[in-house]
Amino acid sequence: MPVRYTFKKAERLKKRRLIEQLFAQGRSFSHPPLRVYYSIHPVTDQHHVAYPAQVAFAVPGKYFRKATQRNRIKRLLREAYRLQKHELYDYLRQQGMALHWMIIYQGKEMPTFEEIQQKMQAVMLRMRQIQEK
């Protein structure tokens, strides 16, 4: 079966309560210009097998005052995540774990797509390393 680079609603972190929990209790690390809040736990629900991670993206309005700029960055982040998520998904399935996380862009400059892709790759690698320990 060929790999499909989709990004469905079930792969997004949509519950307000879960997001607030992430900020209040979740762990975090930084990989400039990205900052990640995450919460990892064993699989309890069946649909976590199909989509072992729920993610949300954010760009604060401090450095990007215009909504079009924030939209552009979020779309780049989403595109990079969509194209690179499968390795992480396989790993999580293998470990039997589920992940809630939020990726925030904290830079001041408008990034290019290549930069975002490299940073996203690094963030996913780091996520795996944290789970290894």
Least separation in angstroms between residue 91's CB and RNA is: 21
8 Å CB contact between 72 and 110:
yes
Using CB under 7 A as the criterion, which residues of the chain lie in contact with RNA when the complex forms? 4-10, 12-17, 19-20, 56-58, 65-68, 71-72, 74-76, 79, 82-83, 112-113
Question: Residue 109, Cβ neighbours under 10 Å: how many?
Answer: 9
- For residue 114, which of 84, 87, 80 has the smallest C-alpha distance? 80
Least separation in angstroms between residue 26's CB and RNA is: 13
| Shorter beta-carbon distance to RNA: residue 9 or 133 | 9
| Shorter beta-carbon distance to RNA: residue 62 or 133 | 62
8 Å CB contact between 53 and 41:
no
| Shorter beta-carbon distance to RNA: residue 114 or 132 | 114
| Shorter beta-carbon distance to RNA: residue 89 or 131 | 89
Least separation in angstroms between residue 132's CB and RNA is: 28
Least separation in angstroms between residue 18's CB and RNA is: 8
Listed in sequence order, the residues at least 6 apart from 99 whose beta carbon sits closer than 8 Å to its beta carbon are: 38, 39, 40, 52, 53, 54, 88, 92, 127
Q: What angle, 0 to 180 degrees and rounded to 10, lies between the N-to-C axes of helices 67-95 and 113-132?
A: 30
